[in-house]
Amino acid sequence: MAEEKKSFGRKLLGFFIEEDTTHTQTAFTPIQAGTLPNVQVQQTIAVQNASGTGIVDKKFGEHFVSLIENSNFKGPDYFEYMQALKSLVGLGLSEEKQYQVAWASFKAMGGITDVAVLTNTANQYVSILDSDRQNFLKGVEVAITDKVGGLKNSLKTTQDENETLAKQIIDLQNRINANNEKITKFTTDISEQSAKITTNKSNYEITYSSFVEQIKGDIAKISQYLS
């Protein structure tokens, strides 16, 4: 029974996703009604969809398959009809003829004569998928609030910290510039004061020598003339 369910799931996946097995990697694209090929499920990969705004992702396709399997209605319905339609692929029939022949086969199989059975059950499956989508989108909102919101808060905190640090850097740079001006002035003052002191020292020494020599000369003359 599990194997039959698995087989049905693979067929169901083939209704919506076409797998190209001619390449090393497996590509999936949406398919048109009436072109339902056999599907050999391999690795999970995703490719861009027709609109180019997202991807047809196999993991979500398998999720939808599981969801519909668990919701499959009793008796012949939309999917049994699609299986009958699928068996006509490759017979050279027009799409309209395929749908008509499949309907005749479907009626004989299940004793159902009202086409509304197909559209009603198909719409019910659409409702099931819509409900799942709403739950998924709610989960996305929660994820955005919890994860993305938290990251945004961290981003804002980091940006604010950087702004504070930038202001501190500017303040420090201004202080460095002011100190550099002081250093330049101090250096100039040191040179000027050193020059003045050196000059005063030289003048002192010369004046001292002059006085001492004068006094010593006077002493020599006193001794010479008055002794």
Sign of the torsion angle spanned by Cα atoms 157, 161, 162, 163: positive
3-state DSSP call for residue 54? Answer: coil
Strand partners, 47: 56
Find, among 9, 14, 18, the residue nearest to 49 by Cα: 18
pLDDT digits (tens, 9 = 90+) for 52-62: 567 778 888 88
Q: Cβ distance 39 to 11 under 8 Å?
A: yes
* Residue 182 banded pLDDT, cuts 50, 70, 90: very high
* Residue 51 banded pLDDT, cuts 50, 70, 90: very low
Is residue 131 predicted with pLDDT exceeding 50?
yes
pLDDT digits (tens, 9 = 90+) for 138-168: 888 888 888 888 888 899 999 999 999 999 9
Q: At what angle do helices 2-16 and 78-86 cross, to 10 degrees?
A: 70
Return the higher-pLDDT residue of 100 and 21: 100
Six token digits for residue 144: 């955005």
Average pLDDT in the chain: 78
Which DSSP string do the residues of 164-216 spell out, in sequence order?
Answer: HHHHHHHHHHHHHHHHHHHHHHHHHHHHHHHHHHHHHHHHHHHHHHHHHHHHH
Q: In this structure, which amino acid lies at residue 198?
A: T
pTM of the model as a whole: 0.50
| DSSP-derived secondary structure letter, 23 | S
**38 phi/psi in degrees, rounded to 5:** -70, 150
Return the higher-pLDDT residue of 197 and 110: 197
Q: Cβ distance 66 to 5 under 8 Å?
A: no
Find, among 125, 122, 120, 85, the residue nearest to 103 by Cα: 85
